[in-house]
Amino acid sequence: MFHVEQFKINDIMNITKLKNAVRNVPDFPIPGIQFKDVTTLFKDPELLTELSDTLYEMYKNLNITKVVGIESRGFIMGPILATRLHAGFVPIRKAGKLPAATYEDSYEKEYGIDTIQIHQDALNENDIVLLHDDLLATGGTMLAACRLVQKFKPKQIIVNFIIELEDLKGRALFSPDVQLDTLIHYPV
């Protein structure tokens, strides 16, 4: 598990800078939800570089062969991180969006049921997979993504989020043997 203590004091200040730049959008997508908007990190070149550098430093020595990004915000940092790590990028998409044969998994999220898919030839047993998405809330999307990736029996699966909403306890869904890392932590 990644802990902020692993970073030097400059890295902690950089994470604080990233955290302070995340926009809070009340009542989106439904009333009562306080949406954490990471697009503010992506639009600023300095913050995007800082985020990219921080994620790269976390994983540069783990021999990642594939970064798997979850639709849609996982498609932003996922390919950037894959390029930095000299790894391939694999998308997990909503049902009906991938053109070739797929595996799929359905899950319950905060506001309904959803289904995600991955191409059946996306990964193999020799891969070390970094699963990436922007936010860990209740954990349903990433848990379904983990089940999809597990179908390929890769050497290792590592899970990464930019943000974790700690009070929603999404982390509790994952077994202790899953390396689950987050950069920015918020109470709900």
> Residue 4 above 60 pLDDT?
no
Q: What percent of the chain has pLDDT over 70?
A: 91
Sheet of strand 102-109, all strands in order from the earlier edge strand to the far edge: 102-109, 112-119, 88-94, 66-70, 128-136, 156-165, 179-186
Region 104-132: mean pLDDT is 93
Q: Which residues contact 16 (CB under 8 A, 6 or more apart)?
A: none
Q: How far apart are CA 49 and CA 114, in angstroms?
A: 32
**pLDDT at residue number 110:** 62
* Mean pLDDT of all residues belonging to the chain: 91
Query: Which residues belong to the active site?
Result: 73, 110
- Stronger pLDDT, 8 or 103, i.e. the higher one: 103
> Residue 187 above 80 pLDDT?
yes
Choosing among 3.30.470.20, 3.40.50.2020, 1.10.3720.10, 1.20.200.10, the CATH entry for 4-186 is 3.40.50.2020
Region 105-130: mean pLDDT is 92
Tell me if 98 sits within 8 A of 117, measured CB to CB.
Answer: yes
Confidence class for position 29, pLDDT limits 50, 70, 90: confident
Q: How many C-beta neighbours within 10 Å does residue 86 have?
A: 10
**pLDDT at residue number 111:** 67
Confidence class for position 145, pLDDT limits 50, 70, 90: very high
Region 133-161: mean pLDDT is 96
Could you tell me the pTM of the whole model?
0.91
